Homo-oligomer: A and B are copies of this chain.
Amino acid sequence: MENRGIDGIVVIGDTTLANPDLTYVVGGALARGGLYFKRVANDPLLVTSVLDIETARKYRTVKQATTYTDLGYERLIGKYGRGNAYAQLIKMILERLGVSGKVILYGRSDLAGGLYLADRLRKMRVAIIGEKSPTILESARQTKSTTERSIMRDVGQKTSKIVDSTIGSLRNLQNKGGRLYCGKQRATVGLVKKWISIALANEELISPEGTIFAPGAASADPHNPGNSRQQLKVGVPIVFDIFPQSERGYWFDLTRTFVLGRADAKTVKMYETVREAQSSALDSMKDSASCEQVMTVACNVIERNGYMTLRELQRGEAREIRSGFIHSLGHGVGLTIGELPYLSLLSTEQLVRNQVVTVEPGVYLPGFGGVRIEDTVAITQNGVDVLGRSRQDELEVT
């Protein structure tokens, strides 16, 4: 903060849900959110509803916590009206904390209301400034504490368990001439998604962004979630990409690709290529490794096997590519499902110990199918620590 000439930060939000910055500074979830203040070199202060103050204290992240009521917020509402009392409250607290320089507002908020608030504060001579990404808090959130890594390892183990038990259930489907049945019914993507939802519920995880279970040609589109009505059959690649979130707000990201029954030579080659790309990339990862270089390692393996990669775009040889390795190698995971650092050709950063990132090379052939293998790992001094290991490490499920 001092380096950037900032005197204080304020983090706001009417909930911690989908509000990673507020969740981060509070240390957990608060149903009605809160108002967090930090002045350079001072202890932070948290203001919450009377209904949430005990929860906030339990997290022990912020030593000094108080309530809107104790600060006389209701009186401010009476005096200034609901629309303006919030700005008055923030100004009052900033004054008490002695903040007089530049202040950054964080937290997810409705933009029209957030801008109204910022403009009110500026009119009251609070020096609110904007900040482009990566913000101070986004940067801080990149490296995970021991507690955070332990929560994420737990989510990873639960996620692996769900993947393995789902694949176990798929193994039990009845094969009648290449068509798959669950009892007398044709097995569909919708049926598998229901199994996954129930398994998530059993592990006390949620999946706000859904789950990808894409068989056959659908797997060639990295973001196709799979059509619920599609019937399962043997012999085609299925991309199963699951990204649940725990009650504490932390996400995890894991992908396996497999074929029910025997795979053809084309799919086997894609799979072997992606697996080699992932293991080479993982071997190149450690504290201080270049994010762009790690992506390049994966591209080298994939190109050597005859598929295109995003480097075609970089070399200006194509305007867009739809076939081959058409996305970046990975992204940070934590209180969001996609954050810094990015393992991309455009990255200029180096990996740092205790970052948590996905490593997910893929090869996609439009009209045919795709293969992606993804693990989420923590960066260590000399390598990586895989958080949550699925037992599924072969292409064919028989």
Contact = CB atoms under 8 A, between A and B. Distances in A.
A118 to B, nearest CB: 5
Interface in A94-121: 104-119
B104 A223 contact: no
B118 A130 contact: yes
Contacts of A207: 206
Contacts of A130: 112-119
Interface string A247-275: 10000000000000000000000000000
A137 B118 CA distance: 20
Contacts of A51: 221, 223
B209 A17 contact: yes
Given A200-B201, A209-B17, A209-B31, A109 B109 contact: yes
Contact of A135 (B15, B113, B200, B206): B113
A279 interface: no
Given A132-B116, A133-B83, A201-B200, A108 B111 contact: yes
A17 B208 contact: yes
B31 A223 contact: yes
Contact of A113 (B12, B133, B221): B133
B112 A111 contact: no
A197 interface: yes
A26 interface: no
Contacts of A201: 194, 197-198, 200-201
A341 to B, nearest CB: 14
A349 to B, nearest CB: 13
A68 to B, nearest CB: 12
A71 interface: no
A21 B108 CA distance: 13
A3 interface: no
B135 A112 contact: yes
A2 interface: no
A18 interface: yes
Contact of A112 (B18, B106, B202, B221): B106
Nearest 10 pairs between A and B by C-beta?
A: A197-B201, A116-B130, A18-B18, A115-B130, A83-B132, A112-B131, A105-B111, A111-B114, A116-B132, A112-B135
18 contacts: A15-B209, A83-B132, A83-B133, A105-B112, A111-B114, A112-B130, A112-B131, A112-B135, A112-B137, A113-B135, A115-B115, A115-B129, A115-B130, A116-B130, A119-B130, A194-B202, A198-B198, A210-B247
Given A111-B118, A116-B130, A208-B208, 15 more contacts: A18-B108, A18-B208, A31-B209, A31-B223, A51-B221, A51-B223, A105-B112, A107-B111, A108-B109, A114-B114, A114-B115, A114-B130, A115-B115, A198-B201, A210-B247
